[in-house]
Structure formats: C-alpha cells, structure tokens
Amino acid sequence: MYQTDLTETEWQYITKVLNLQERKRKYDLRLIWNAIFYLVKTGCQWRMLPLDFSKWQLVYYYRKWASQLDFDLLLEKLRGHVRVKRGQSMEPSVKNILADGGYRGELVDNIKKKFGYVIQVVISAYKEQGFRPIQKRWIVERTFSWIDYNRRLCRNYELTFDSAEEMVKLATIRLLLRKI
C-alpha cells in the first residue's frame, strides 16, 4: 500500500461519477488508478512503476479516459462537491481570472468578449511594502504550490501538451479527492 492509494470513499466517488459498472474484469481498475496517482506523485517513468501495480502499458490506459473527457467530468463534479461542502454554491458566480501587471490592454477586452471571463489585473506594491499576499491571488499561488508538490509536475516531463494537461488534471483530482 502506498500513500497515493485511493481510500474506499475516494474510489466509490470515482466509480459513481464515471459510472464504472461492477463487472468481472481481468484487471482491477482501482489498481490502475492507484498506479496513475503513484506516477504523478513520484514522477517515475512509466516503465519504472513498481511491480505490484499492473503492467505500465495497462496503466497507460489513462489516455483512453483522458480522450473520453472522463477527467474533465470528474474534476467538474469534485469541484462542485468540495465547494458545496465548504458552504459555497456549486458553480462560481463570477468568472474572474487573476493576472499580474503584464496582462493589460487589448488582451483583457478580447478574453472578455470571446469567453466571458473578467481578468482582474493585480499589481504588487512589493518594492514599497515588502511581501504581502495579494487578495485572492494568494489562493492561486498556493494551489500552484500544492500541484507542484507532485514530482511529475515540478518540471515538464511530458512529450505533448495534452499529456502535460492530463497530468495537471490528475494532480488536481487527487487534491480534491482528499477534500471530500
């Protein structure tokens, strides 16, 4: 058993959201999920997965889930679940993006028109005041730190952008599963 293994509650949540019917399988899906989370956390190579997990080729099955948007569905449900648990509404009421001073001008207007997002530019007064957390930007920085705690994400080891994005999604899924 590894620290990255899913608890029974976490596994039940995944099976419910992804509608994984109980049927006789040659390979245990929970073991595959555990191997994926182990890989993201430790940063090991696919072929270096410990032998008590399934073969690495079978664990690479995660690409099928990624292409079916299963990770997106799971993230959406988890985010809503955690927000409700904290007494917030399931969906954020305002779509704000926090950005630093480098994002100003036409970019802000274009993103608002195209996607409906409001970019809130936050400029630090670090030189005058010293370090102070800035509004909700600290939440974003803290979240990046939590995600970066996974060795697979401390630098970009992935060959494709899609694969890198899936690793971030998996790290976020793991983070949110711990909060349910």
How confident is the model over 114-157, as pLDDT tens digits? Answer: 877 788 777 776 677 777 777 667 777 788 889 989 999 988 88
pTM listed for this prediction: 0.81
Burial readout 90-121 (b: 16 or more C-beta within 10 A, e: otherwise): eeeeeeeebbeeeeeeeebeebeeeeeeebee
Does the pLDDT of residue 103 top 80, yes or no?
A: no
Does the pLDDT of residue 99 top 90, yes or no?
A: no
Q: How confident is the model at residue 94 (pLDDT cuts 50, 70, 90)?
A: low
Q: How confident is the model at residue 50 (pLDDT cuts 50, 70, 90)?
A: very high
Specify whether the CB–CB gap between 174 and 4 falls below 8 A. yes
Does the pLDDT of residue 77 top 90, yes or no?
A: yes
Calculated CA dihedral for residues 82, 83, 84, 90, nearest 10 degrees: -120
Number of C-beta neighbours around residue 166 at 10 A: 21
Percent of the residues in the chain that have a pLDDT greater than 90, as a whole number: 44
Q: At residue 115, what is the residue type?
A: F
Question: Tell me, what's the pLDDT at 47?
Answer: 93
* Arithmetic mean of pLDDT over the chain: 86
d(CA 75, CA 96): 19
Mean pLDDT along residues 10-30: 87
Does the pLDDT of residue 19 top 70, yes or no?
A: yes
More confident residue, 77 or 24: 77
Does the pLDDT of residue 30 top 90, yes or no?
A: yes
Does the pLDDT of residue 4 top 90, yes or no?
A: yes
Q: At residue 136, what is the residue type?
A: K
d(CA 100, CA 108): 12
